[in-house]
Structure formats: C-alpha cells, structure tokens
Amino acid sequence: MAFDPGFLLPDATALRLDPIMAEPTGGFTVVVATVQNTAACPTCQQPMTRLHSHYTRTIADLP
C-alpha cells in the first residue's frame, strides 16, 4: 500500500514534508510546512501574506 499525502493533507503540491523523526515512545513526528508565499482568505478570497497562526496537530491511533 503506497502512502497518499492527499489522504491526510490538502493539496500535497503546496506542502513540504520535512524529515520524519522517531520518538522514544515508539511514535514518530512528521513536520509539514507550506511552500506558498500567499494564501487566499477563506472569507473574502483576497491574497494574504501575513502568518496568522501555527499549531501542532496530533493524529491518534484509535480502534
């Protein structure tokens, strides 16, 4: 089974996958960043260049 980045992340052509790091707990950390300089405002669709936020997402392995 091949890994499809589109399954977890939107528009894989606009993203950069940084190194995957193994964690001591047996898990791993995947760092993804955008390669775009601008993004459209979801409300007015005007191009924005200012970074409004950044955050960490956690994917849980659930039954």
Instruction: Quote the pLDDT of residue 2.
Output: 61
Instruction: Quote the pLDDT of residue 62.
Output: 60
Torsion 41-59-6-19 (CA) sign: positive
As a whole number of angstroms, the distance between CA 59 and CA 48 comes to: 28
Instruction: Quote the pLDDT of residue 10.
Output: 64
pLDDT in tens, 3-62: 555 555 567 778 888 888 898 988 888 888 888 888 788 788 888 877 777 777 777 666
Which amino acid is residue 32, in one-letter code?
V
Domain boundaries, the chain: 11-48
Instruction: Quote the pLDDT of residue 63.
Output: 61
Three-class HEC string of 1-58: CCCCHHHCCCCHHHEEEEEEEECCCCCEEEEEEECCCCEECCCCCCEECCCCCCCCCC
Q: Are 12 and 32 in contact (CB under 8 A)?
A: no
